Amino acid sequence: MIASLSGTVAALDGASAVIEVSGVGYSLQISSRTSQALKLNSSVHIFTSLIVREDAFTLYGFLDKRELNTFELLRSVTGVGPKSALSVLGSLTVDQIGDAVSKDDDSVFRAVSGIGPKTAKLIVVSLAGKIAPVTGYQPFGNELNVSDVISALVGLGWPERTAKEGALQATKALGENSSQNELLKYALASLGATKSLGASDE
């Protein structure tokens, strides 16, 4: 079993990376957060999870052991496959996931692309007691606002799936400390809305 790799980042393409070890390139599936942290031609140590199926052997890569362990915990939840687990880790840190689970707050998971309300609730219920919150952790501003943005978009007539995509896009574009009003304005603009929301924030 391949537990980790130490080598050079030979290729990087959003959801995947190639780590070259002693002349051999290993293709890994990675989260968007990991992709942003990696640099081409840099040395790296990656923890891995090998998933074997009838038609494929797939390696998943993680920057630290906590992220790997959280990936495995997420995969244990009914309805959460490797792709969805990576999507969660690309949108939320391990600390954010632990904080949400400890507070029985599924809203942050509902904001992740590909995670529906039922699965979001299952994640919170299934991981309760398995992942510990970090003492003193404070949620980022967008965590507190994103569920309200989704609700506002749904209230304006957008389907929930579209609302989640718009809110997630706004969060990634504007940063983690944007106000609810800023996120909502950006989401509406990205969804093609032309209705003005009034004066901008001071």
Judge whether residue 192 has pLDDT over 90: no
pLDDT of residue 134: 57
Sign of the four-CA dihedral 98, 112, 13, 186: negative
4 membership: H or E segment, kind and range: strand 4-13
Positions of CATH 2.40.50.140 in the chain: 4-62
Q: Average pLDDT in the 23-37 region? A: 93
pLDDT of residue 161: 74
User: What's domain 65-127's superfamily in CATH?
Assistant: 5' to 3' exonuclease, C-terminal subdomain (1.10.150.20)
Q: For residues 129 and 136, give the distance between their C-alpha atoms in angstroms, rounded to a whole number.
A: 18
The tokens describing 137, both together, are 């952790």
Exposed, middle or buried by CB within 10 Å (0-12, 13-18, 19+), for 177? exposed
Percent with pLDDT over 90 in the chain: 49
How do residues 104-142 score in pLDDT, each as one tens digit? 999 999 989 889 999 999 999 999 989 876 544 444 444
Q: For residues 120 and 8, give the distance between their C-alpha atoms in angstroms, rounded to a whole number.
A: 36
* Higher pLDDT among residues 31 and 191, named by residue: 31
Tell me the CATH number for domain 141-190.
1.10.8.10
Instruction: Give me the torsion for CA of 137, 143, 148, 150, rounded to 10°.
Output: -150
How do residues 40-88 score in pLDDT, each as one tens digit? 999 999 999 999 988 889 999 999 999 999 999 999 999 999 999 999 9
pLDDT of residue 1: 72
Positions of CATH 1.10.8.10 in the chain: 141-190
Q: Which CATH class is domain 4-62?
A: mainly beta
pLDDT of residue 113: 87
Q: For residues 73 and 75, give the distance between their C-alpha atoms in angstroms, rounded to a whole number.
A: 5
pLDDT of residue 48: 96
Alpha carbon 179 to chain centroid, angstroms: 20
Assign 201 a pLDDT band (cuts: 50, 70, 90): very low
Q: For residues 76 and 24, give the distance between their C-alpha atoms in angstroms, rounded to a whole number.
A: 31
The tokens describing 129, both together, are 């007691």
Percent with pLDDT over 70 in the chain: 86
Q: For residues 131 and 108, give the distance between their C-alpha atoms in angstroms, rounded to a whole number.
A: 16
